[in-house]
Structure 1
Amino acid sequence: MTNGGADYCFECIGLASLMVEAFNSSREGWGKTVIIGVEMHGSPLNLSPYAILKGRTITGSLFGGIKAKSDLPLLAQKYLDKVSAFSI
């Protein structure tokens, strides 16, 4: 369907097996997998080092990339001040 794999894959459930499936679904050479779900069972990821060497990447995103220590108080203050959070 994607003719070689997806450019971007996202895993939002939090299962190690689906994280591996998302990674394996990414395109060789430049495919990127973003892990959003949290694996609660402590299961390891079994990824092929060869696939990484061929250009696939895997990264994580916690809280959508905000810095909790500095950004959450700022967002809370903006909410209290009735300022749009999108104007950060």
Structure 2
Amino acid sequence: MHVCGWHQGLAAGAFNAYRIGRRRVVFRESLTGSTITDRPEEVTAHVHACEHLRARAASPAASLDLIDSARSALCLELRNSWSG
């Protein structure tokens, strides 16, 4: 299913999920501060967002190809703008 709009991982902001022994915690950062939570429903939501991002992400090779294509296009654009 395709859903338009922001990806759920972006809405959560920057976060890291940790396992400390049997306990899972999430460290969240925002514009105005940070929080640590071990509430199961919040940890689960963050872990699912991360898993979803990983599942949808391009492979490392495809990511490098994309970066190289963007670099080549930018370099060509810069060369053309310098030549006049």
* TM-score, structure 1 normalization: 0.30
Higher share in helix: 2
TM-score where L is the length of structure 2: 0.31
Instruction: Using CA pairs under 8 Å that are at least 6 residues apart, name the structure with larger relative contact order, 1 or 2.
Output: 1
**Structure index of larger Rg:** 2
